[in-house]
Amino acid sequence: MINLTHSCLLSNNVEKMRQFYADLLGFKPQVDNQGYAEFQMDGRSVLSIFDISVHNGMALEPAKVSGSQNIILEFEVSGIEVEYRRVEEMGVKIVKPLTTQAWGNTSFWFRDPDGNLLNFYCKENSDKKESLSCCGTDCSTCDCFSDICEGCNQSEGKVFHSPEGCPIYSCAKKDNAYKNCGECAKAPCSIWYDTRDPKFSDEEFEQNIAGRIDALNK
């Protein structure tokens, strides 16, 4: 059995690279020693940054840092458009903007301070699934989505119009541990009707419910 456990970037400026990846990934390195930083991405993969002078003192052959032309670090993300804006706000120059590939993934490319090429991507329809709340509402269709509200899933039900927590989310996710209301035999239940948007007429609300149930069943 062979497992790839580490992706290691050699750098002349570990401090700058450490800070860049801490800002990019949203967490500090779990291992942070002089000349070495290690970001544990999940239970198996690790991204590490290694001072090239320290590395060359250990390696059989010295390495050179010039920015990789042959390697791309790829990160799967949820909310690709949100990530795109966030990376832009970091002041990072985008090499290639949001692009939907022929196979369905949406990606954008940029470089780290050492010139290594990075690709953030989301799989086909993953943004759509991520923005679909537990009650079947597509948060991405709301004018407030991503600007003042992250959506039901990201905020754990504490959306802009219900900062204390949406009762539908609490019932489905917290009380019953459902993935969404589609797993509940009672849906649409009384909570759906109690949280009805007052701008809907009776007919519009019934159409809204039908659309949400249909979305949950897909």
Same domain for 54 and 70, yes or no, is: no
- Shared domain check, 162 and 149: yes
Q: Are 134 and 213 in contact (CB under 8 A)?
A: no
- The residues of the chain scoring below 50 in pLDDT are 127
Q: From CA 166, how far away is CA 153, in angstroms rounded?
A: 11
CA dist 139 and 152 (Å) reads 7
Residues 2 and 70 in one domain: no
Q: What is the pLDDT of residues 77-111, one digit of tens each?
A: 877 888 899 999 999 999 999 988 877 788 999 99
Do residue 141 and residue 75 come from a single domain? no
In this prediction, residue 43 carries a pLDDT of 65
Measured from the Cβ of residue 156, the count of other Cβ atoms closer than 10 Å reads: 14
Picking from 112, 131, 150, the residue at the C-terminal end of a domain is 131
The domain total for the chain is 3
Residues 151 and 193 in one domain: yes
* Distant-in-sequence, close-in-space partners of 142: CB < 8 Å, separation ≥ 6: 149
Which residues, in sequence order, are CB contacts of 82 under 8 Å at separation 6+?
A: 146, 150
Give the residue numbers spanning the domain of 160: 133-217
Burial 105-139, CB ≥16 within 10 A → b, else e: bbbbbbebebebbbbbbbeeebbeebbbbbbbbbb
Q: CATH number for the domain including 10?
A: 3.30.720.120
- The CATH number given to whatever domain includes residue 80 is 3.10.180.10
Within this chain, do residues 113 and 179 fall inside the same structural domain, yes or no?
no
Q: Where are the beta strands (DSSP E) in 77-161?
A: 94-100, 106-111, 117-122
The predicted pLDDT at position 81 comes to: 85
Instruction: Among 82, 99, 131, give the residue marking a domain's end.
Output: 131
Whether residue 41 sits in one domain with residue 31: yes
Do 127 and 146 lie in one domain? The reply is: no
| pLDDT at res. 18 | 95
Q: Which two tokens stand for residue 132?
A: 């679909």
Cα first-last separation, the chain: 38
The residue from 114, 131, 148 where one domain ends is 131
